[in-house]
Every structure is written in C-alpha cells, then in structure tokens.
Structure 1
Amino acid sequence: MSFLPPLALYIHVPWCVRKCPYCDFNSHALSGALPEAAYIDALLADLDAEMINVQGRPLTSIFIGGGTPSLVSGAGYQRLLAGIEARLTLAPDIEITLEANPGTFERERFLDFRRAGINRLSVGVQSFDNDALARLGRIHDADEAVRAISTAREVGFDEINIDLMHGLPGQDKARALADIDQALALAPSHLSWYQLTLEPNTAFYSHPPTLPEEDVLADIQDAGQARLEGAGFQRYEISAWSRPGHEARHNLNYWRFGDYLGIGAGAHGKISRPDDEGLTIERRWKTRQPETYLARHDDPRGFLAGHRRLSRDERGLEFLMNALRLSDGVPRALWHQHTGLDDARLDAHTRAAIARELMSETHSRIQATPLGLLFLNDLLALCDDSVLARS
C-alpha cells in the first residue's frame, strides 16, 4: 500500500444550551430532552459507513466538538468509545479530547468523562470577565469557569486546554491581560488564544458590536504574546499556545494535512486514497440538521451529504493553508507524502511568497517567516496567485 497520512476521528455533537451570537459552527439550541441514545446509535452507524476509508490505519486522536459535547453523559461516551474501539485500532497513546462548557459542568459528570476514556478537556471559557461573558451570550460566569477547570484537574485531567478570546467588545489591554493571568493561574497545559471575528450568518455579523480599534488590538496581541512566553508557553500555531510537549495532537494532524474521518451532524472529513498518480484526496461532509441526521440512520442514502475530489492545485494550496499556520512549519517531505505532488509544484505555489520574504526557502522545511506569520492572509494569497500565474 502507498504511504497514507495519519488518521484521526472528529465527532460532532450539534446541540448547545443557547446559541452564542458570535458562533458560526453547526450548533443548535436544544429544545426538549437530548436524544442521546439515538444519536450515539447514529454515530456508530455513520462510522460503519466510513470504515472503507480507514485502510488499516490506527486512530492517532479523537476530538469531540460541538455544539456543547459536555451535554452528553459519561455513560453515553463510554458506550460510544467502546463502539469505536470495537471497530478501529487505537494508538496506544491516543489523545481523546472533549469540548466542555463551564455552564454544563458537574463534578460527577467530569469524573464520568475521565472514566469513559477521555483524557483531554478543551474548556470554552472565552473570558473571565463577567461583563464580557454577558456580551458574548455565554451561560456561565467567571466563578463557574474557575470551578470547572479546578474540578477537571481534581478528577484526573492533566491535559486541559482553555479557549480564550481577545478583542472583545469594550476590551482594553489591561482586561485582555487579566484574562490571560487568570487562565495561567489555573495551570492549563494548552491555551487557544484567538481574536474575536465577526463571521457571516451570526447574530454579531447582523448586528455588530463595537470592537477595539486596530492599534488596541495590536497592543493586546503584543502584550499577550509576551505574557504567555514569559509563563513558559510556546506559540506553535497562529492561535495555539502550549507548554513544551503538550501541543494538541489532533489539531497538529489538521495542520500537517493528515486525514480524518468526520461523523455526526455537519461533520467534515478528509480522506486520501492511493492511485496511479500517487494520491486522490477527497473532502466529505455529513447532513447538517440534527433531526435530518437522525432520520438518515434508517435511510438507504446514509449520512453523507456531499463529497468532492480536490484538484492538484487545490491539494497544494490547502496543504499550505494548514502547514504555514505552524510557527515551525512542517518537514518538506510531508509535501509529497500528504499531497502526492512533486517539488516542482511546491516551488510554483511558493515562488512569489519566497520572493517577498514571507516564506523561508530551505531543503528541509516548509515554513513562514515571522513576517509571513504576521501577514498570513497575504502569504496565502501569494501562494494562490503564483498558481494562477502559472496556469
């Protein structure tokens, strides 16, 4: 068998208590009881249909996202993960991450998650400022966030990510740094620290709040970066910081253009298959609406809503869109291994960006320069334009 990229699994839980005004994910406010058993049945049936895409590979990581996956019980996850393990080989050191909302935490629930085999939590705090949380439409307050993370550690979670946003309505540098300081005081292994953006099809996009000016945003970014580095955190991706050795393996697989199965309402997957030219790469996505997804369990059409084979130029650009987010880039060998393309096509994609000193040119790595990381969108546009100019 030809070389294939590592394989991960993404599981989507589409329900939440309340839709946040900035959220553009496939999430739906829960009305009535959570159809937990039926949804887990559907997830396992969805996985059965994806088994043809495994091609003998073990799972390196599992990520359960949403929505609010912590609405599902520990017993539900025990059944789901047992079903996954019965179908697939799991890497001995597999990372299994669950997104959790502080507004849904209980000590016994977190303990049950750990007993089920989940070994990493990603806690969606966003801010420790109660005024900011209210503006963001969050259902928890700062005290609940602190208690949730402390409780997670008490019940045995050593790997904890805190999701934290900056550039919030009314936020200045002092408030942004206060959020970072509170997060650091809770001793997480990982921080996702990213700027609030107004995405289409969200309430904030339709009725935008007043956000900080560009110079304030720049001050926040510079001061926050210095504070995190001073605390021993490394910025290994545009918005991801970790203590050494605690990078998110699941996200690294995305950024290195690895493969992943996607199961659940609206889940996306990326699958590589060997062919005569090296690799075929396909994007796959599942039906979005939870009710429709559940109904597909007994439907001959299955759960797949669509799929698309990437062209050779799309493969190259998508690889770069991911790899160049990493501070250290990726080994050059991954270009051919994960896209099936030769070095001449890599040179065509990157020639203009290298000339503008947004990318470094080495024989061993594909990497953005510090300037390229600062102007990542410009860098990626040059990679795309270089293909258009060659075509």
Structure 2
Amino acid sequence: MMDLPPLALYIHVPWCVRKCPYCDFNSHGVGRDTELPETRYIDALLADLDQDHHAVQGREIVSIFIGGGTPSLLSASAYQRLLDGLRQRLIFARDIEITLEANPGTVEQTRFEGYRRSGINRLSIGVQSFAAGQLEALGRIHSGGEAKRAVRSAREAGFDNVNLDLMHGLPGQTLAAALGDIEQALALEPTHLSWYQLTLEPNTEFFSHPPPLPDEERLWDIQDAGHDLLESADFSRYEISAYARPGRQAHHNLNYWRFGDYLGIGAGAHGKLSSIDPAGRWRIERRWKTRQPEAYLRRMNDPRGFVAGGQTVERRALPLEFLMNALRLTDGVDVEDWENHTGQPLSELTPRLEAARRQGLLTTSPSRLQATPQGLLFLNDLLALFDEEA
C-alpha cells in the first residue's frame, strides 16, 4: 500500500487593520485600536485541530504557515501558547519550517523577538511596493521606509529566513518603477522573494472599479527584465512567481505545489486531506472552515464543529487538480509523485501528456512532469488539455 503524502498545517488569522482593495482573502478590517479576542481565538484554533486530528494518521508536520489577514496583529505570547499547544498534539519534523506573515506597520522590534522565541523561524513580510504612490493606490497602511525598517528589525531579532512579497503590474507602473522595487528589495538581503502580478479578483474593490493597469506589452517587459534582474542577483526562479536563494525555497509552498496534504485551521481556512480505505481505495477531500470570525468562535461550543463544508475530489478531476499545482514548478515533479499523491496510474494521462508534448508545452522527459518555458508562459493552455470540463 502506498504511503500518504507529506502533511503541513495552515493556520488562518482573519483580522487586518484595513482590507486592501485587491484582496480576495478572508480578511476583516478592524482598525488599529481594536482589542482582538486572542485568548478565545487560540483556544478555538487548538479545538479546531483536535477535531481534525484523526486526519493526521501518524504523520509528522513538515511545515506550518500562519497567514491572513494580518497574523502579526496577534501578540508573541499568543503564538507561544499556540505553538506550545501544537507541539503537545503533533509531531514536528526536525527541520520544520514555521512561517508567519507580517505586515510593516503592525510590528516592532520586541514583537519580532517574541515571535522568534516562540519557535517561528521564517517571516513573510508583505511589502508589495516601496513607492509611496503605489502603496497608497494599493490601500497599504505602511510606507516604504516602514517596510525597510521592518525587514531590518526582523534580522536584528534573529530571523535569517525572510521572504518579501512584491507585486508588479501595479496601477500606472513603469518598467523603471517595477525594477526599482526589486532593487530596493534586494538591498535588504532577503532569502526569498514572491514577485507576482497584480490580478483583479472577483469580490474585490479593484474588480468592481478597476484601476488603470499597464498594457500587455509593458507587462511582458516588466516580467522579462524583472526575471533577469533577480536571476543576476542569485535568486533562482523555482515557481512561476517565487524566487529563492540556494536552499531557501519555501517548504510550505512546495508541499502545496507537489500536491501534499495540509490541515487548515482558523476562520475560513482550507485543507486538503488524503486517506486510503482498507480496500486500498484512495480518497482526497477538500474542506473549509466557517469564515466569519465571530461565527467561527461560536463553533467552539457547537456540536457541528468548525467545518463549514467539504468536497471529495472526483477521479476525473485529479489530473487538473494535480497538474495545476505541479506544473507551476519550473522543475516540475517526478512522475512517481503522480501515483504517490493521487493513487492513480500515470497511464491514464498518456494521451493528454502526448498532446501537450506535441504542442511543445511539456518536456519529453520520461521521468518528470515538467512544463517547457513555453508551457510556463502559456500555463492555462497547457492545463486546458487536462480539464475534463473544457
């Protein structure tokens, strides 16, 4: 019988100071002075995990990612209690990566130091841009100077693994401005850069009232020049929008892209869980938790628990589910990962794999599922070949 995929843990903190106009995550603006229900929320997170614990099935946790919202609104003592509770319930991998998302303007030196003492060993700082006009257009609450101070404070607090989130294709952004953001980020010596294009997502203010964005030609110029600048600074692209120093790829995101499992706890958190029944039948389920923070907290004493819904991934949907993650990786994945993470034989994909190779979108390697440079550029076209609904 095949082993289950590696298991990670995602923890969602739903509050932020102010919701950004491009954000489609489950985030709820509360202003700067609102006292958050930290104690109740940590209690709820641990109770949520207790209800999901059966899905662990003896696996160790390879990574933890605390996202939001703005997780850095919670105190270091809250995370100390949370991580202590997690250690009592779970087996942590020896080299576990524990990431906290932090936004400049919501943290100071002493809080970073407390986060580090609690066991958090990686920060992901939401810079997005260093330009005042762009930050204002994006609805960010920090300045470029505050972003730089936050990164330096993180370093001084002992964090040697720091990701910076940067966006490009911003309203009215020029090539020079986009490259200027990258240059300022590189000067801060992060270990990882998530450099992604602004997209207008449904149910956001930007979707309802689109800002003037760069045209397609300028976007191509920004992407090409930005990629070259990052590569020249020894940042290797390992996923469509992720660049890392050698050995500093994000463990948690790699687990997502390789179709690993992950528990999701917290308001609106999503999880993906695999199981194998006694007859050897493989089952993959996606589930999600109650979204509204107060409703989530009330589920503590509700016999229904925290789960708001779930869906079993149908066999015919597995190729697209797997490949829409795996093919984002520039190196792709071993063909064995398909069978190990889906329980299905690769032979079922042969006609579609051959079609993708004929179109020059997939490499001809017999041992890897890997997009060609052309396939990465036109990933949606490549994935359409595996979409049963297309």
| TMscore range, shorter length | over 0.9
Which of 358, 364, 369 is matched with 2:367 structurally? Answer: 364
Q: What SS class does the counterpart of residue 165 from structure 2 fall into?
A: strand
1:17 matched to which residue of 2?
17
2:334 matched to which residue of 1?
331
Partner AA of 2:372 in structure 1: T
Give, in whole Å, the separation in 2 of the partners of 1:198 and 1:349: 31
Give, in whole Å, the separation in 2 of the partners of 1:44 and 1:99: 19
2:317 matched to which residue of 1?
314
Instruction: State whether residues 277 and 340 of structure 1, in contact with CA within 8 Å, keep that contact through their aligned partners in structure 2.
Output: no
Give, in whole Å, the separation in 1 of the partners of 2:351 and 2:17: 47
Q: What SS class does the counterpart of residue 66 from structure 2 fall into?
A: strand
Partner AA of 2:360 in structure 1: E
Give, in whole Å, the separation in 1 of the partners of 2:149 and 2:12: 26
Which of 85, 91, 94 is matched with 2:93 structurally? Answer: 91
Question: Map of 1:251-270 to 2, 5 A cutoff?
Answer: 251-270=253-272
2:301 matched to which residue of 1?
298
Partner AA of 2:198 in structure 1: L
1:280 matched to which residue of 2?
283
Q: Deviations over 1:48-69 (max 9, x none)?
A: 0010000000000000000000
2:184 matched to which residue of 1?
182
> How many angstroms does 1:347 deviate by?
1.6
Instruction: State whether residues 236 and 326 of structure 1, in contact with CA within 8 Å, keep that contact through their aligned partners in structure 2.
Output: yes
> How many angstroms does 1:361 deviate by?
2.6
Partner AA of 1:59 in structure 2: I
Q: Deviations over 1:256-275 (max 9, x none)?
A: 00000000000000000013
Q: What SS class does the counterpart of residue 306 from structure 1 fall into?
A: strand
2:233 matched to which residue of 1?
231
Q: What SS class does the counterpart of residue 297 from structure 1 fall into?
A: helix
1:3 matched to which residue of 2?
3
Partner AA of 1:20 in structure 2: C
Does residue 240 (structure 1) correspond to residue 250 (structure 2)? The answer is: no
Moved more, 305-314 or 178-187: 305-314
Give, in whole Å, the separation in 2 of the partners of 1:315 and 1:85: 33
Q: Would the alpha carbon gap of residues 237 and 323 (structure 1) be closer, same or farther in structure 2, given more than 3 Å must change?
A: same
Partner AA of 2:143 in structure 1: D
Does residue 160 (structure 1) correspond to residue 162 (structure 2)? The answer is: yes
Instruction: State whether residues 335 and 346 of structure 2, in contact with CA within 8 Å, keep that contact through their aligned partners in structure 1.
Output: no
Q: TM-score scaled by structure 1?
A: 0.97
Q: TM-score scaled by structure 2?
A: 0.98
Partner AA of 1:82 in structure 2: D
2:27 matched to which residue of 1?
27
> How many angstroms does 1:346 deviate by?
2.5
Identity %, equivalent residues? 66
> How many angstroms does 1:349 deviate by?
4.0
Moved more, 274-283 or 157-166: 274-283
Structure 1 alignment gaps of length 5 or more:
none
Give, in whole Å, the separation in 2 of the partners of 1:277 and 1:314: 19
> How many angstroms does 1:234 deviate by?
0.4
> How many angstroms does 1:351 deviate by?
3.1
Give, in whole Å, the separation in 2 of the partners of 1:167 and 1:48: 42
Which of 135, 138, 141 is matched with 1:136 structurally? Answer: 138
Q: Deviations over 1:325-384 (max 9, x none)?
A: 000000110000000010211224423222211011322111000100011111111222
> How many angstroms does 1:316 deviate by?
1.9
1:351 matched to which residue of 2?
354
Give, in whole Å, the separation in 2 of the partners of 1:27 and 1:19: 7
Question: Map of 1:32-181 to 2, 5 A cutoff?
Answer: 32-181=34-183
Moved more, 349-358 or 56-65: 349-358
Instruction: State whether residues 2 and 340 of structure 2, in contact with CA within 8 Å, keep that contact through their aligned partners in structure 1.
Output: no
Instruction: State whether residues 352 and 383 of structure 1, in contact with CA within 8 Å, keep that contact through their aligned partners in structure 2.
Output: no
Which of 367, 373, 376 is matched with 2:376 structurally? Answer: 373
Give, in whole Å, the separation in 2 of the partners of 1:349 and 1:51: 38
Partner AA of 2:230 in structure 1: L
Q: Segments of 4+ in structure 1 off by > 4 A?
A: none
Give, in whole Å, the separation in 2 of the partners of 1:269 and 1:45: 16
Give, in whole Å, the separation in 1 of the partners of 2:389 and 2:15: 41
Q: What SS class does the counterpart of residue 383 from structure 1 fall into?
A: coil
Partner AA of 1:267 in structure 2: A
Q: Would the alpha carbon gap of residues 81 and 318 (structure 1) be closer, same or farther in structure 2, given more than 3 Å must change?
A: same
Q: What SS class does the counterpart of residue 370 from structure 2 fall into?
A: strand
